[in-house]
Amino acid sequence: MYKLTDTTTIIRISDKALIPADPANTDYANYLEWVEAGNTATAADAIPDPTYQENRVSEYPPIGDQLDALYHAGVFPDAMAASIKAIKDKYPK
């Protein structure tokens, strides 16, 4: 009838309602009565471990830093490099 989450929020399975742990919430009061009657909520879903892609994304340098490194390494096409240089010249340090 109810399922736990990894927060204090309870899920009512019948309509998947999120019920906050607020004693003034009538649905939470009903949940507490249900537990007091000897019932036990279903365990929370396990949070999946991050994938290797997600781990990499979280630790890669910012995209801007990566592009700047490529520019300074001189690997951009001539037209793109010229366009970037023109902007740098327009707004010098």
Partner 1 sequence: MSLILDGTSGITNLTSINGGQLAGRRNIVINGAMNVAQRSASTTGLGAASGYFTLDRYRIGTNAASAGRFTMAQVADGPAGFANCLKLTVTTADTSIAAGERLIITQRFEGQDLQQLQKGTATAKQVTVSFYVKGNANALYVCELFDSDNLRSITQSFAVTTDWNRIELTFAADTSDPLNDDNGNSLEINFWLHGGSTFTGGTFAVNTWNDYTEANRYAVADRTSIFDATSRTFFLTGIQMEIGTVATDFESRSYAEELTLCHRYYEKSYPSTHKAGTNLAHNQDAVHMQSVATLEDGGSRMRMSKDFKVSKRAAPTVVYYDMVSAAGRVSTISDDTFANGVNPAVDGVVGTERFMMQMNGESPFLFHYTAEAEL
64 binds partner 1 (CB under 8 A): no
| 5 or 81: CB nearest partner 1 | 5
Q: Could you count the other beta carbons within 10 Å of the beta carbon of residue 13? A: 12
Residues pairing with 17 in the sheet:
12
What would the two tokens of residue 82 be?
A: 């010229």
Q: Write phi, then psi, for 41 (nearest 5 degrees).
A: -75, 155
27 binds partner 1 (CB under 8 A): yes
What minimum distance in Å lies between the beta carbon of 90 and partner 1?
26
**Residues found near partner 1 in the complex (CB under 8 A):** 5-9, 11-12, 15-22, 24-28, 45, 47-51, 53-55, 57-58
